[in-house]
Structure formats: C-alpha cells, structure tokens
Amino acid sequence: MKKTIALLAASLLAGCLLGAASPQPSPAPTPVGFSDPAMQFVAPGGFTALPVAAHRDPTSFGGRTTVAAFVKDAGQLDERLIVISMDDEQGSLNDFEGTTESSLHSQAGTLFVDKKQLTALSNGMPAYWVGVSVGSGFHAKRIYQYEWVDGVRGVIVSETARMGELSERQAKADLANLTAVAFPIDRYRE
C-alpha cells in the first residue's frame, strides 16, 4: 500500500514538473488588418489575410490597386471577402463615387446599385455607403462598400459574399472599426 501511494505521489509530482497537470491556454488569434498613414482597419475574427503584392508608395497608384484582402470561410458557400483598394484621386467625394459606380457598371454585366448613402466612417471621415447586387442566379453576389477620398487617394473598402449570405447589418459590423483621415502629404513627401 505504501509503495502504491509513493508511486502515485511520484507520478503526480512528475506531471506537475512537466506541466501536464495544468493545461496551458491556447494563444489568442493574432488580428489581421491594414494600416497606412491615412487609414486603419482590423478584420473581424475569423478572417485571414490573403497574399497581396506590396505597394510601395501610398500616394501613387496609376489605376485601382488592391492593397489588402481578407477572407472568411474560403472556398465555402458562405465565403466572405473584404478588399481594400486605392486609386489616385484628388477630386471630390461625389466625383469619386460617380467614377467608382461607372467602373462597376463596365466590369459587371448585370449590376444593380440599390443603396447609395452619404455617411461617415466611425471617426467622422465623410464617405459613401453603397450596396450593389452583381450577377444572376447561383453566381449572384452582394457587395457593400465604403468609398471616400483622403485628399490624395480614392479608397474603397468592400465586403462581398454570395447573395443571401451577407446582410447590410453584418457588413456594417464587419467594417465598423475602419477609420480614415486626410492623407498627411506634407509629412510624407519632402
């Protein structure tokens, strides 16, 4: 009996010394996002960053350029995609919104803009909130996006999903921590 108790005590002691007696908490997932001199965004939990070619100069684009992308449930029917794209734009917000809508119409065969609202990002930056339906049938997509001009660039942050998989409320929640300011061009270029 004494031998059994001694073996049990020794095995408990060994387990404590090796850390087996107390499970370690798993590390919290690292948030993914995008930050530059005039905007910040952290993707919601469950989204992972997609590889995007680095763009060196945040003040010069020469055409709409994707600077960051995040996906949730990749390859599944309920896949959701958040994309941040930028273009050179020093005009007004209204001009940029018109150019963006025109560009969408030229890229997609069947497109319906059913929501266009002048609003502001969470920190007060003026922006448009736009809702778009693209395509038809099983391939139809729903896109919600914020569009704004920071004095140097036109910026679009969009979320896309298969029709019926993304509500406006969900898209607004997913993009809620997006913030932007006027681009600090004087501090950036010398």
- 121 near 181, Cβ under 8 Å? no
Q: Which pLDDT value is given to residue 4?
A: 39
* Position 186 pLDDT exceeds 60: yes
Radius of gyration of the chain (CA): 24
Average pLDDT of the residues in 146-161? 96
Report all structural domains of the chain as residue ranges with CATH numbers, in order of start.
Answer: 33-188 (3.40.1000.10)
Closest CA to 160 of 122, 117, 108: 108
* Position 188 pLDDT exceeds 90: no
Closest CA to 175 of 83, 60, 48, 55: 83
What's the token pair of residue 37? 């001199």
Q: How many helices (H) and strands (E) does the chain have?
A: 4, 10
In whole angstroms, give the CA distance from residue 120 to residue 126: 4
